[in-house]
């Protein structure tokens, strides 16, 4: 009976915490503020995250390896301190053919110092930075879940315009089944989240169907959607993380798409 009561109370507390996260109002510039303040910490910790080691990084690797070798021009969206850019280079993309756009000046300063051959622009993804039909591919890792609907639609529009016909686009983000549980939301909506390196930020929960529809509405043709779990290999190297993520059906979703010819 006591065990049941404790479990009941814990469940009620979890629900209250989720409700509080959905009601909490944050400064709309919180993402930039947090990423500026924690730029060095992000660079150190983001490389060590199990979700990056086992899911995000490998997804970028596969995408980069599938691109034509040579003068492929790639736009990395929300490039931070260059985590994705480094993986692109490791997989054969020439650094001088990579353009990173990042809202945090402090993150860009780190990226420019570490990867001087690549181009890094300080800017908002909802502002047009690239010429139409000027890039061959675009990458986006853990970004669109921090964008409201209007901003996401703008980013999709500018990405579609910047890609050459046939150009490829990969988007990796937190899976809707995880954000639904984390936020307590049954439909689309915003909630606050705590980053692994500290600080709070805004997240937007969208259903899997709404997410795919947003890209189709922008004109993209979807080539593949992957619902991703933490692989069993992580059980040995990151046992606590592996156990923590078991309560979610999936933890990441990867969308591979292209601009029609």
**100: Cβ contacts below 8 Å, ≥ 6 apart:** 75, 76, 79, 82, 85, 108, 111, 118, 119, 120, 121
The pLDDT value given to residue 11:
45
Domains of the chain: 2-258 (3.40.50.150)
The pLDDT value given to residue 196:
74
- pLDDT level of residue 261 (50, 70, 90 thresholds): very high
Give the Cβ contact number of residue 20 at 10 Å.
12
Q: Is residue 29 over pLDDT 80?
A: no
Output the average pLDDT for the chain.
Answer: 88
H or E element: which one contains 155?
Answer: helix 149-162
Q: Is residue 47 over pLDDT 90?
A: no
Nearest 5 degrees, angle CA 207-CA 67-CA 110? 75
Q: What is the C-alpha separation between 68 and 227, in angstroms, rounded? A: 26
Q: What is the C-alpha separation between 114 and 126, in angstroms, rounded? A: 26
β-bridge pairing 119-122 and 98-102: parallel
């Amino acid at each position: 009976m006591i065990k049941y009561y404790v479990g009941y109370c814990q469940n009620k507390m979890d629900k209250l915490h989720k409700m509080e996260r959905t009601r909490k109002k944050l400064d709309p510039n919180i993402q930039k503020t947090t990423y500026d303040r924690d730029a060095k910490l992000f660079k150190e910790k983001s490389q060590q995250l199990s979700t990056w080691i086992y899911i995000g990084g490998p997804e970028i690797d596969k995408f980069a390896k599938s691109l034509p070798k040579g003068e492929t021009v790639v736009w990395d969206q929300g490039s931070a301190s260059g985590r994705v850019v480094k993986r692109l280079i490791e997989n054969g993309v020439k650094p001088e053919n990579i353009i990173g756009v990042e809202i945090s000046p402090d993150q860009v300063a780190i990226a420019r110092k570490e990867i001087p051959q690549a181009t890094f622009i300080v800017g908002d993804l909802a502002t047009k930075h690239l010429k139409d039909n000027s890039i061959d591919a675009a990458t986006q890792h853990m970004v669109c879940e921090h964008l409201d609907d209007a901003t996401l639609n703008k980013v999709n529009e500018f990405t579609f315009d910047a890609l050459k016909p046939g150009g490829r686009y990969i988007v990796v983000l937190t899976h809707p089944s995880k954000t639904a549980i984390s936020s307590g939301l049954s439909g689309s909506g915003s909630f606050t989240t705590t980053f692994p390196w500290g600080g709070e930020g805004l997240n937007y929960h969208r259903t899997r169907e709404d997410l795919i529809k947003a890209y189709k509405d922008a004109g993209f043709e979807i080539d593949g959607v992957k619902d991703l779990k933490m692989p069993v290999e992580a059980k040995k190297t990151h046992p606590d993380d592996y156990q923590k993520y078991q309560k979610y059906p999936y933890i990441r979703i990867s969308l591979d798409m292209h601009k029609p010819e």
